[in-house]
Amino acid sequence: MSLRLKLGLWVRMAVALVLTVVSVGILLAAEFALAVVVSIFGAFLMQTFGVALLGLAGVVAVCLLSWVAIVAGLRRMTAPGILARRIDSDPVRKAVQRAGQVVWEPPSLRTIGRGIGLLAGPGVGLILCYQLGFVVLGLDPIRFGIAFGAIIVVCYTGWLVYDELRAAGSVRTQLEDEYDLVADSEQEQTLSRRVQRLAAQAGCPVPEVEIGASRLPQAATVGYRPENSIILVSQGLIESLDDEELDAVLAHELAHLLNRDAAVLTALSFPRSKVQGLVDLMYRWDSSDADILLIPLFVVATPLYVVNRLAVPTVARYREYVADRAAAEVTGNPAAMASALSTLDREYAVRSSTDLRVTWSTAAFGVVAPPWEERKFFDRSTRFLYRRILGTHPRTADRIERLRSQIE
C-alpha cells in the first residue's frame, strides 16, 4: 500500500473513530441519566406498586371465586341451557346459548390461582425488596437508582453488541438467498483452488467459497474473521470475467477479509445501531406514555445518528480503494482489476433489469455499487446524496483511474 493511500485511510479512520467514541460516550451518558431518573422514581414508588398489585390480585380473586360459587349454586338449582330452550327466536336462542356456555363454565381453581399468583407474586416481591433495601438495610434511593441505572445501561448495550454479532448470520442468509446457491462441486473446487492460491500470495487464511445461480455479476464476503468467513460468487460473475479479471475480484474480496473491513465498519456504525435500537424499543413498547421517556434521548441521538451516517461511508468508500490496490498487488496486474470493475459495472446495469430477485439491501457487500435507478424529480441531487455522500462505494470511474495510475 502506498504511503499516500495509507495516510488517507488512517486519517479517515482516526476521524471516524473519534466521532464514534464521542457519540457512544454521549449516548451512554444520556441513557444512564434517563435510567437513573426512572430507577429513582421507581424506588420511591416500589412499595406503592406492590400494594396496588396485591390489591388488584385481591379484587380479581374475589370476582373469580364469586363467579365459581354462583355457577356452582345455579347448577344445583337448574340445568344449563334452560333459559335458551324457552326462547322461540332461533338467532336469539343461539346467542343466549353461546353466552350461557361462557358464563356457565368459569375457569378452574388452578387457573384462578395461577392468575392471582402472577399479580400477587410481583406485588409481594416489590414490597419485600422495598422493606429489605430501604428499611432493613437503609439504602439510599439515589444510590440505588445510580446502581440500577448502570445495570440497565450495561445490559442494554451488551444486548445490542450481541444482536450485532448475531446479525452477521442473517446477512449471510440474505445474501445466500439473493445469490440462489447451487451445488456444483466441480466448479466450487476450481474456484476454491483459485482462492487458495491467492490467499497464499496474500498471506490470508483460506475462506469457504460458495457459488450462486444468479445471473447478476456479484461477489461478496461475509464474516468478521478471515478464518470463519465465506466468499459468495455468482454464476453471472464467473461468466462475465476472464481468468485474470476473476483472480483480481477474488483478491479484492480477500483484501476485505485480511483488513477485517466488516468488523471495522460494524464497530464504527455502533452509534447508529444504538439509535436504531432505541427506535425498535419505542415500537415494542407501543405506549405513548413510555415513548415520552425516550424523547430526551432522541433529541440527543438524532444529531449523533446523522454524524455517524455521514462519517462511516467515507471510511467504507476509501477501504474499497485499499482493497482494489491490494488486489492489484497480489495479482501483480492492476489492469485486470480495472478491467474487471469496468466489466462488472457494465454487466450489472444490463442484467439487473431482468433479474427480479435482486434487492439492494445488501449492496454494501458487492464489488461495485448497483446501477442507479433514474428518478423523475431531483434525480441529480438524490444521486449525489445516496452515491457520493452516503454511498459505500466510490464511483467506478474513480477506482479505475486510481488503478491505471499504478500501471503508469
Examine the residue annotation and report whether 253 is marked as an active-site residue of this protein. yes
Are the CB atoms for 390 and 310 separated by under 8 Å? yes
Are the CB atoms for 348 and 341 separated by under 8 Å? no
Are the CB atoms for 210 and 232 separated by under 8 Å? yes
Other Cβ atoms within 10 Å of 123 Cβ, number: 20
Give 77's contacts (C-beta < 8 A, 6+ positions apart). Answer: none
Q: Find, among 327, 187, 311, 155, the residue nearest to 254 by Cα.
A: 327
First to last CA, the chain: 16
Residue with cell 334452560: 82
Q: Find, among 396, 373, 376, 397, the residue nearest to 386 by Cα.
A: 373
Which long-range contacts link 109-112 to residues 24+ away (Cβ below 8 Å)? Answer: 109/68, 112/61, 112/64, 112/65, 112/68
* 3-state secondary structure (DSSP) of residue 376: coil
Sign, CA dihedral 32-33-39-42, equals negative
Are the CB atoms for 306 and 272 separated by under 8 Å? no
Angle formed at CA 32 by CA 159 and CA 278, multiple of 5 degrees = 50
Q: Which three cell numbers stand for residue 46?
A: 416500589
Give DSSP secondary structure letters for 153-169. HHHHHHHHHHHHHHHHH
Give DSSP secondary structure letters for 17-57. HHHHHHHHHHHHHHHHHHHHHHHHHHHHHHHHHHHHHHHHH
- Of the residues 253, 320, 329, 347, which is catalytic? 253
For the annotated catalytic residues, the residue numbers are 253
